[in-house]
Structure formats: C-alpha cells, structure tokens
Chains A and B, each alone.
Chain A
Amino acid sequence: MKTNFQLKKVDFIFNNENDWEEVLSKNLNRSRQDIINELISSELKGRGGAGFPTGLKWKLSADANDETKYVICNADEGEPGTFKDREILSKVPFKVLTAMAICAYVIGAKEGYIYLRGEYFFLQPEINNAINEFEYYCKEINFDFSIKIFMGSGAYICGEETALFESMEGKRGEPRNKPPYPSSYGYMGKPTVINNVETMAHAYTICNYGAKRFYDLGVQYSRGSKLYSVSGDTPKPGIYELELGMSLSDFVDEFGDGDTKAVQVGGASGFLVPRKKFNETTIGYQGKLTGISLPTGGSMMLFNSSRSMYNVLDNYLVFFHEESCGQCTPCRVGCQQLLKGIKSVKNGQKNAQYLDKLLQLAETMQFTAKCGLGQSVANSFSSIVENFREEMIY
C-alpha cells in the first residue's frame, strides 16, 4: 500500500501570497471549458462529505439549460468536531468569494449564497464587509454577480444539500428525493452548484496555481490537501492542512498523546479506527488504495485509553436521534432503537446477541435511509460495536 510515509504539511489555503482581484480577472478571461478541464484534471473532490468530483459538478450545472442558476457555498459546518470552515471564512474569505464568482462565471449564475451556520452569526459582519468590497470590484470589472448570506438556524440536517435548499426556500429542512440532483434541480428548482467552503478554497488554489501543483499532492483517487480539525486527547488540537493519503499511524505519531486508543475519522458520521488498525488505515477518499476511511469533513478526534467507547457511541447516537430530520422510518426510528438498544445491552435487559440485531439494523439504515445522515449512522455504530464489543456489554 503506497502512502506518504510522513505527514506533509501544506499551506495552500491560508497563505497570503496572492491577490484575489488578479485571480478573478485572470480566470474570467479564460474559457469556461478551460476552467472545467483544469478542475477535472486536478481531481479535486468535494470536502463537505460526499467527495463528489468538483469539476464534474460544475460541468453538470454548466451543461444544464436554464436562464437562472445558483452558486451556493455550504458553510453550515455542523459535523461534530469540525471547525475548519469557520477558520477559512474568517481568515481568507476572499478566496471563497472568488471561487464562487469563478463558478458563477463557469455555470452562468448571477446570484450566490453563503449558507452560514447559525452559531457563526458573529462572522456575519466581517463576511458582509468582504462581500461588499468583492461586489464593488465585480462591478468595476463589469462582472454581474452578487452574494448574499443566508443564516441557518442550527439544525445539523440543513447542511445536507437538498435540506439546505428547502430551508432557504422557507420550508422545513427535510432532504429531498434524489434524483433529481442539484445540478439540474437545486435551489428554487434551478440548476445549482453547492460546494463546501473548503472545496471553494481549493478551487481557488487550482484556478490560481493550476491543476498540477494540486494534483501532485496526495495519492490515487485522493489528490491534493485537506484541512483537518484535530481534537480530543491530543496535545495539539487545531486546524492543519495536510496532504491526503497519510497513514493513520503517522497521524497518531504526530498528534497523539502517546496513549491513543482509537481515532474517530470524519466526525460522528465517520468511522472509528482502533489502535490495531492504525497502520493499515489511510486517510483519503474511497478507492482501492485507501479502504474505508473517508475524511468527510476532516474531523479527527483522538481518544486515549481513559475513554469509554460506550460513552462515545452513546454520545453520537444521542446526536443522531436528535438531529435526524425525522422524516424517514429507518433513520427516525432506527436511531432511537440503536440508542435504546445499546443501553439495554449495557444494563442487561437485552442479551449480547441483541448487538447483532442492532448491527443488522444499522446496515438496513445504510441501505434504506433517505439521506446521508441516516445512511452514515452505521459507520460509527458498526465500527465502534465491532471493534469494542466487550466495552458495549460489560
């Protein structure tokens, strides 16, 4: 298995080397196809969770035949243990705005929105100042594009793209059926590109430095760098930009406290990796090389041996059973059953074999839930129960 044998720190996102006005003007003078090709060849994948190829996403919306289209930047950042989008928006907002404008140019949109997590209200004035300055420049160069902030109101599910559209349309934030996908039927039923804040920031890097510099980082299927929000039992919590494709043991060497028992990769909807699997686990997008460990939002939570894995799982399930939108059966009822189920096993009301029924339930949720929330509960549930079964029972 090829991995980078040591962590490579990268500084694309937060560096101040460049001038966004120049990057914007430069790209508005390129052909749309040229930009799409650049993105496609960079192999940038969405950093908001699902890892969809960004170049293809832009292309699909660009190809959609409609007068009105939208660009939306997903800054809902609701995944527990993730706090990198906040950092990007407060430190380098112009990179995000610029990437949104380039996207708008590519697909033919005139309006953009930043869907900002409700708890980040304090960022709003600063971002608005940046938007004003940005829009002023757009006017100067005769580029017709405006950006508005839409404040979320605290529901985790509203980070899911179609629930996000519903919520922006003034409706209850419930995920829609897919298909149709946002590229043809998004906000207001119009073709929409929705990208995570970090995805936009990487798109900026690529539009600025070219695809190659980005592509050169990482491993097959997982190119470029990624921001990680490191938390838990670590002496150095914080946000780090690292090359994709690192091995988890290298990561733990760097960030662990010497007693790391497990790492939760990708937040509550990600996977728990136990110490015995650190060596064989690579952090990257799904593919032959990397196995299962999607970084999703890039949350890396370290647990040392003082932690109860039962409590960790209980915590996640409490989160999911409250944050499920409640619309679909497997997720709404399944989360309640998983939560009550592990309690019953712990307190002896149900025998240990009941965990197997719960594992099957989690798998059923993965197959049948309507959106990514319900589908990914099985990730943490199964990886914790399978790796720490004794801790669930005794």
Chain B
Amino acid sequence: MESKIKIKINGETVEVEKGTSMLEAAKQVGVIIPTLCYHKDLCVAGNCRVCVIEVVGQKRLSPACATPCEDGFEILTNSLKVRNSRKYILELLLSEHNADCTRCYKNGNCELQRLASEYKIMEQDFIRLVPFKNYTIDKFSPSIIKDDSKCIRCQRCVRTCAELQGVNALAVAFKGDQMKITTFFEKALNDVICTNCGQCINHCPTGALVERNYIEEVWDAIADKTKHVVVQTAPAVRVGLGEELGFEPGTRLTGKMVSALKHLGFDAVMDTDFTADLTIMEEGTELLTRLKKVLVDHDPNVRLPMATSCSPGWIKFIEHLYPEHLDILSSCKSPQQMFGALVKTYYAQARKINPDKIISVSIMPCTAKKFEANRPEMHDSGYRDVDYVLTTRELAIMIKQAGIDFNRLEDMHFDRLMGESTGAGVIFGSTGGVMEAALRTVYEIVTGREVPFEKLNIIPVRGTEGIREVSVKIENPLKEWAFLDGIELNCAVAHGLVNAKKVMNSIISGQTNYHFVEFMACPGGCLGGGGQPIPTSPEIRQKRAEAIYAEDAGMPLRKSHLNPEIIKIYKDFLGEPLSEKSHHLLHTKYVKRGM
C-alpha cells in the first residue's frame, strides 16, 4: 500500500492513491466539487477555475481538477474563501455570457445555468460585456450551430476535436479579451474540415454548440395531411433516448419509442436496422468481390483493405484528410441513406403512394447524418432520399412537446416492409458492431457454417479499446470460395477519428495488412454519437453498449441474411446484392475534398 496517501477533506480523513486529483478524492468522500472545463473524456485543462478549493496553509486556491493530492494535505471545499471566489468566477462567466436562457436551445441542460442556479447568482454587479463584443453565430452548417455569445472558453470542444477526433477544426485564436474558439481563418464550420460528427456539441457545457434542429419542419410535415411522413430510427437511438426522458442510461426502450413515434403522428414507423441488415448483404458481398479481385484476378485497380462507409463523419474525414485513398471505402451508402432511397421507391411502390407525397424523416444518434442527407449525391430515388434528420435529443424534445407520458406507453412493433431486423442490425449502433454483423454473414456465405464464436458473439471486436483487431481463419470454404481456403481474414475496428487516423496511417505505411476495417467517427460508435443525450462519459457509453448487446442477444434472428424482409426485398425488388438496381439505389461515390 505504498502508493496510498492520507489527506483530509473538510475534516474527514481519506486514503487515496498517490496522484489522485483533489476532484476525484473529494468524490470518494461524497463531496461534489462543481466543474465546467473538466470532462471525463478529455485531458485536464484547469482553465475555468470554478473547481478551486482551499489547501489549508496556502494563500492561493487550487483547481481541484488539476491538482494532485499530496500526503497530509488538508483540503476545504466549502470555506468562505472558496465560496466567495467561486461566486465571483461564476459572476464573471455570466458577465461575458449571453445569458438569454429562455431563448436558448440548451435551456434546462446547461452546466453554467445549473451552477448559476446552485450558487444563486441573482444580482448583476459586474458590467455586462456582451454588448461590447462582436459575437458571431455560425448557422451555415446543416448539422451544427456555433454561437460565440454562449461560449465560456472552457475549450472542451477544442480538446474534443483534437483529442477524440484528431480533426482540429476548432481552435483557440487571439488573446486577452479577444480570445475565442474559432476555425481556420474564422471560416464557417461548413467551409472547414469539420466532419459534423457533433462530438463538440456533446461536450459543450453551454449552448455555444448545438445541433441545427429541424423539429418545426417535421411538425409541419406531420400536420400536412397531403403528406405521408415515414420515420426510421437508428439502432443507437433506442438505447439512448431514455436518458432524455428520465430513465437510467442503458434502458432499452424500443417498443415504447415506436409507440411514441406513432403518437407523434408519423404515418409509418420503420427501422434503420432493416437497412443495416441490407448493408451487410451489400457490403459483405462487396468485400468478397474485392477479395476475389485482389487475390485471384490480381486486379490492379482494386485494393485492400475495404473500409466501411456507414459513418458520415468518418466519410467526410477521409474525404478531407486522405482524398487519395477514397478507393478503400465500400461504395455502400449508410443504412440511413439506403433507407431513404428505398422509401421513395420500393416502399412507395408497395404502398402505392406517390413518392412526391412522402416525407422521409430519420431519427439518428448523429449530427453528421444531417450533412449526409444534404449531400447532392443522395437523390437516387429521384427525390431527396432523406428529408429531415433529427437527433435523439430532438426526438425527445418532440415527445415532451407532445405531452406523451413515456412510462405509460405500450410497447409496439415497427411497421412492416422495412421494419424487421436481426440482432446483427441492432449492433450497428456500437463500435465493432458492423464488423461483427458482417463476419456473422460473410463467414457463413463462404463456409456454409456459423462463424466460430460462442453464441455468435465475436467478443474480440467488442469493447472500448480505440483500435481492436481480430483475425478469422477461413477453413474448408464452399467450392465457390476455394480461393479463401486457409486465409486469415485480418479485420480491425477503430472508433473516434483520432483512432481512425492511426489506422489509416498504418494502412498507408504498410505496417498493417488488413482485409476489412470498420471505422466509426464517434467514441463508442453511434451509441456515443454527437446526437445522443448529453452528458456523455465512458460509463454512460458502456451502459448503452450493454443495452445494445442485450438487445441483440434477445433477438430471435441474429444474422442479417436471415431477415425475412431482406429476403423479400431481394426477391421482389433488388434481385441480388450488387445488382444494377442495388448499385443505383444503395451505392454511392465520394468526393475528394482535401484540406
């Protein structure tokens, strides 16, 4: 127990690990110290100074987040000096902040507002600085709105963009009173290498970064009796939504969510998980085709690995940072966009509805999906494939606006045709899920046997490590796939763009020889997406992941190719994977964007 030290917090002795921050130590004795710039996902900045505490004998206060405990320290977290200083600091923050709370999108979920309320900052002695500032609001991105007047310069977004995503679209510029968080040459987010992943939104304590919301547009569409409004819900939404509605993280609410959507007035409620299964059929076949082209035909125009393409943040990232390597991407659209293209074709035909009259809405854990739906390529149905993308948070707002008592909802099923899915579709919501789903199907196509993992659970691709690898040996394949006999299929999974960058660099430098790589822009995959409930943390994402895998384990069907609606769509409409029709509706091209 050498590494243990003893300190006193507000008179109570506590033993902590050497190097423990005062913030953590206080938590251990049940003392909560307020923070703003601190976030569990990020390195410690210690710049807001809200967490200052008093070390007995020291004149200056110390930031609890950034100060390691030392043996014998006596710490006061609520002395007069601490409380007064904290109040001053909050007053200062508020004097520089456009505290127009009732008109703020984050009203009710703002860390600054909460502290102002806790410390009862009632008077405004300090001079309001807002009128002196030339604050800008950047509304040009289809995904993200950045309002500098709400910014408290905690730099959580900057650290997020750098540490989690390796994108560095947001940075600190200027100094003194002019210091602000901005982009390269202060361009709009839409004009820089921002991937729209929305992680900055998830980590922003105030209303400075929020999603561009389309709630009113969707209400209008629902109210328009001439329109047939179809909604799809992504896998990760069902395990996140509850957090906005008072449930514990990791509560599975699929049936109630469907029910709520029907109450909201959507004409059809279907499931993105269906197109997740479809993605597996298309992408799995594409992988096998590429393997054959490389290994048998030695086609110089095809290369490995093949990279997944369902995360639009990842897509914009590779388009900006690795424009010369877009050929590694699968040509498959994301499940959202496959769904959109099918709603206005397959679904319209089956239901005999003029696609002109269909409004297609999607509920996503993601802000990049808003950008994706807006891409000019995404009109293969002849219309805009997905009209509006709402985040999990926006759906929760609609549910609250509609006055729905979620607890009392009956579980309901998704509507037919594109509402059936397998466990493989569900796990798309987690990092490693696309890989696991693909392996379950591809292995079986190639060998005629189930993938050799107990209960189909491919544990090595699950988890929270930023980069994970698995190799699956192909033995005794079916005759058609004889060329794969004995091959170790090297697969990797990366989540968080900073890890995507590492994997890309290792691929380009030849350090690795993967066949297939899954990339997801957000930490934890879609369940940690930029459109998911705020706050986020490693623990919360872990809970959501557990819920996703529990959902999978409870499904009667857990392999995409067994989904009866998938079998049906190939029979009735698409023909076979990679058919001409599939190519037209379900596949896409990418844009070299560069820096």
Contacts and interface: CB of A to CB of B under 8 A. Distances in A.
Given A332-B153, A367-B59, A321 B176 contact: yes
B208 to A, nearest CB: 15
Contacts of B179: 324-327, 332
A172 B172 contact: yes
A326 B176 contact: yes
B61 A368 contact: yes
Nearest to A357: B125
A172 B158 CA distance: 12
B175 A368 contact: no
Interface in B113-140: 125-127, 129, 132
Contacts of A368: 49, 52, 60-61, 85, 88-89
B176 A364 contact: no
Interface stretch (A95-103, A242-250, A336-344): A336-344
Interface in B46-85: 46-50, 52, 59-61, 63, 66-68, 81, 84-85
B177 A367 contact: no
Interface in B4-63: 44-50, 52, 59-61, 63
A177 to B, nearest CB: 4
B92 interface: yes
B174 interface: yes
Nearest to A157: B175
A325 B92 contact: no
13 contacts: A174-B172, A177-B44, A177-B46, A321-B177, A324-B177, A326-B174, A326-B175, A328-B47, A329-B48, A330-B89, A336-B96, A337-B127, A368-B88
Instruction: Give the 3 A-B CB pairs with smallest separation, nearest first.
Output: A326-B179, A333-B92, A177-B66
B176 A340 contact: no
A322 B179 CA distance: 9
B177 A335 contact: yes
B115 to A, nearest CB: 12
B183 to A, nearest CB: 15
Interface string B167-179: 0000110111111
Question: Which of B59, B125, B129 neighbours the largest number of chain A CB atoms within 10 Å of its CB?
Answer: B125
A323 B155 CA distance: 19
B47 A329 contact: yes
Interface string B487-519: 000000000000000000000000000000000
B153 A337 contact: no
A333 B90 CA distance: 11
Interface in B99-124: none
Contacts of A170: none
Interface in A301-358: 320-330, 332-337, 340-341, 344, 354, 357
B92 A337 contact: yes
Contact of A322 (B45, B47, B172, B176): B176
A199 interface: no
B44 to A, nearest CB: 7
Nearest to A334: B92
Given A321-B176, A324-B175, A333-B93, A364 B85 contact: yes
A323 B88 contact: no
Interface in B294-326: none
A74 to B, nearest CB: 19
B95 interface: yes
Nearest to A366: B60
A170 to B, nearest CB: 13
B375 to A, nearest CB: 34
A366 to B, nearest CB: 7
A384 interface: no
B96 A369 contact: no
Contacts of B46: 177, 328, 370
B155 to A, nearest CB: 7
Contacts of B49: 328-330, 368-370
Given A329-B47, A337-B95, A368-B52, A375 B89 contact: no
Question: Which of A333, A341, A370 neighbours the largest number of chain B CB atoms within 10 Å of its CB?
Answer: A333
B47 A337 contact: no
A149 interface: no
A155 interface: yes
Q: How large is the interface on B (under 10, 10 to 19, 20 to 34, 35 or more residues)?
A: 35 or more
A326 B178 contact: yes
Question: Which of B66, B125, B175 neighbours the largest number of chain A CB atoms within 10 Å of its CB?
Answer: B175
Contact of A375 (B50, B60, B92, B178): B60
A179 interface: yes
Given A364-B89, A367-B81, A325 B175 contact: yes
A155 B179 CA distance: 13
Question: Which of B48, B88, B126, B171 neighbours the largest number of chain A CB atoms within 10 Å of its CB?
Answer: B88
Given A327-B153, A367-B52, A367-B81, A335 B129 contact: no
Contacts of B129: 333, 336-337, 340
A333 B176 CA distance: 9
A272 B167 CA distance: 47
Contacts of A361: 88, 92, 126
Nearest to B54: A367
A65 interface: no
Interface in A119-148: none
Contacts of B152: 329
A59 to B, nearest CB: 20
B175 A177 contact: no
A344 B127 contact: yes
A90 interface: no
A357 B84 CA distance: 12
Nearest to A155: B175
A364 B84 contact: yes
A367 B63 CA distance: 10
A360 interface: yes
Contact of A333 (B44, B81, B96): B96
Given A336-B96, A344-B127, A329 B89 contact: yes
Given A340-B129, A367-B60, 13 more contacts: A325-B179, A326-B153, A326-B178, A327-B155, A328-B47, A329-B49, A329-B93, A329-B152, A332-B153, A336-B177, A364-B88, A367-B81, A370-B63
Given A325-B175, A330-B92, A332-B177, A370 B127 contact: no
Given A327-B153, A337-B126, A370 B175 contact: no
A341 B46 CA distance: 26
Interface string A142-167: 00000000000001010000000000
A328 B178 CA distance: 13
Contacts of A332: 96, 153, 176-177, 179
Contacts of B172: 172, 174, 326-327
Interface in A367-394: 367-370, 375
A49 to B, nearest CB: 16
A366 B88 CA distance: 12
Contacts of A354: 125
Contacts of A174: 172
A325 B96 CA distance: 16
Nearest to B36: A329
B153 A177 contact: no
B50 A341 contact: no
A328 B48 contact: yes
A344 B127 CA distance: 9
A341 B44 CA distance: 32
Interface string B152-169: 110100000000000000
A370 B85 contact: no
A169 to B, nearest CB: 14
B92 A322 contact: no
A340 B127 contact: yes
A322 B175 CA distance: 7
Nearest to A350: B127
A367 B96 CA distance: 20
Contacts of B44: 177
A343 B85 CA distance: 24
Contacts of B175: 155, 157, 322-326
Contacts of A155: 175
A336 B175 CA distance: 12
